[in-house]
């Protein structure tokens, strides 16, 4: 059974396009999220922190915690700013960090967005 998850902290995509968050069994899948229209006025570290907060909001709405996140894929328009992304991750996560892939790309769909992150979490994984 597939459940669609929403959170007031995360803008929903246009109807009929995609879902931000789906849960199948105990697995939570999140689409790539970015800082949206605010991105243009933010540093990469600020964008990353905002996106991680959005991920946490959706994961929480799905019944999990940020400690249940097991995989991140980070898309970055300038890999030279990866230290800013890493710092934001270190401020967000504690304990065992999730598996992570960083991919350098030419551009993101949102003007001014420099980072987009998708995630996978397993509900209750951190308590086992």
pLDDT, one tens digit per residue, over 56-109 is 999 999 999 999 999 999 999 999 999 999 999 999 999 999 999 999 999 998
pTM: 0.96
- Which DSSP string corresponds to 81-121? GHHHHHHHHHHH--SSPPEEEEEE-S--SSTT--EEEEEEE
pLDDT tier at 32 (50, 70, 90 boundaries)? Answer: very high
Structure tokens at 75: 């898309």
Pick the CATH number of 2-124 from 3.40.1190.10, 3.30.1330.40, 3.30.1180.20, 3.30.70.2970: 3.30.1330.40
Q: Going by C-beta distance under 8 Å and a sequence separation of 6 or more, which residues neighbour residue 120? A: 27, 28, 29, 30, 69, 70, 71
Please, is 34 exposed, middle or buried when counting C-beta atoms within 10 Å of its C-beta (0-12, 13-18, 19+)?
Answer: buried
Report the 10 Å Cβ neighbour count for 74.
21
């Amino acid at each position: 059974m597939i459940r669609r998850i929403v959170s007031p902290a995360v803008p929903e995509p246009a109807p009929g396009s995609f879902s931000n968050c789906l849960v199948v069994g105990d697995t939570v899948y999140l689409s790539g999220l970015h800082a949206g229209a605010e991105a243009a006025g933010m540093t990469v570290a600020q964008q990353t922190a905002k996106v991680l907060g959005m991920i946490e909001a959706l994961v929480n709405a799905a019944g999990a915690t940020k400690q249940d996140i097991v995989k991140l894929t980070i898309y970055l328009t300038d890999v030279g700013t990866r230290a800013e992304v890493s710092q934001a991750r270190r401020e967000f996560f504690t304990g065992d960090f999730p598996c992570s892939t960083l991919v350098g790309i030419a551009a993101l769909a949102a003007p001014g967005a420099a980072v987009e992150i998708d995630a996978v979490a397993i509900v209750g994984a951190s308590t086992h």
